[in-house]
Amino acid sequence: MCIGVSPGANCRADYPHPPIAREGWPFLAGSLALAILVTWLAGWAWASPLWLLALFVLQFFRDPPRQVPIGEGIVLSPADGRVVAVEQTDDPWLNRKALKISVFMNVFNVHSNRSPVDGEVKGRWYNPGAFVNAALDKASTENERNALWFRTADGQDVTCVQVAGLVARRILCYVGEGDTLKRGQRYGFIRFGSRLDVYLPTDARPRVCLGDKVKAGSDVLAEFPR
């Protein structure tokens, strides 16, 4: 097994937040109001598709708390989903060779994005782009994306890139240069399918394999050498 934390590892509780992401409150309120209205006017048969839509919205915007591992040199997944890349490549944001690990989120995954490390945001870049399938490699260079450059206390540089997907049309990021984040802290959201690319120093050791399913803020992607 490639993912997760070693048995007996220390964890800390995630900070309190609503179980439904605040980004979804207008969508949930609107879908529920429409379903209730049609039920009242036309009955359950006509309203049933709208209730299914409301259930989809509810599951899409769920944001469960996570147990965040405590330990030196570990890099957590910034997103829920499936690992679609573990490779040596170029980091286009910091102009360096890097280990890239990508996590693809489908519409049934939790879409909150969390900091992979304890560190200061040293830079932030936004690039407009296309909306090709986020599971494809070319999404990393062609799609709309928002990149954060983290630097840890011991000088490790980590680039974490939110990438829009085929149906994703909104990348949300609530932090900027100079902010300091804790590992597992929520910092953004992408609506309706996307991916996260993490670029690490080349000597970082992967702890995941292609096809592994990971959870943001609780599963370990890689670790730095000690």
Pairing of strands 180-181, 213-214: unpaired
Task: Tokens for 45, please give them.
Answer: 């048969």
Task: Tokens for 184, please give them.
Answer: 């597992």
Backbone angles phi, psi at 29, to 5 degrees: -60, -45
Catalytic residue among 31, 102, 194, 218: 194
202 and 92 in a common domain: yes
Whether the predicted pLDDT of 6 surpasses 50: no
User: Which helix (H) or strand (E) element contains residue 157?
Assistant: strand 157-164
- Domain assignment present for residue 6? The answer is no
Neighbour tally for 211: CB within 10 Å: 10
102 and 186 in a common domain: yes
* Domain count of the fold of the chain: 2
At residue 57 the predicted structure's pLDDT band, cuts being 50, 70 and 90, is: confident
193 and 123 in a common domain: yes
95 and 33 in a common domain: no
Q: Give the position of tokens 């409150």.
A: 25
- Domain assignment present for residue 65? The answer is no
At residue 138 the predicted structure's pLDDT band, cuts being 50, 70 and 90, is: low
150-162: average pLDDT: 95
Q: What is the CATH number of the domain that holds 99?
A: 2.70.70.10
At residue 130 the predicted structure's pLDDT band, cuts being 50, 70 and 90, is: low
114 and 34 in a common domain: no
Residue 194 annotated as catalytic: yes
Q: What is the pLDDT at residue 108?
A: 85
Domain residues for 98? 73-223
Determine which of 30-34, 105-109, 112-116, 185-189 has the lowest per-residue pLDDT on average: 105-109
Whether the predicted pLDDT of 206 surpasses 50: yes
pTM of the model: 0.81
49 and 135 in a common domain: no
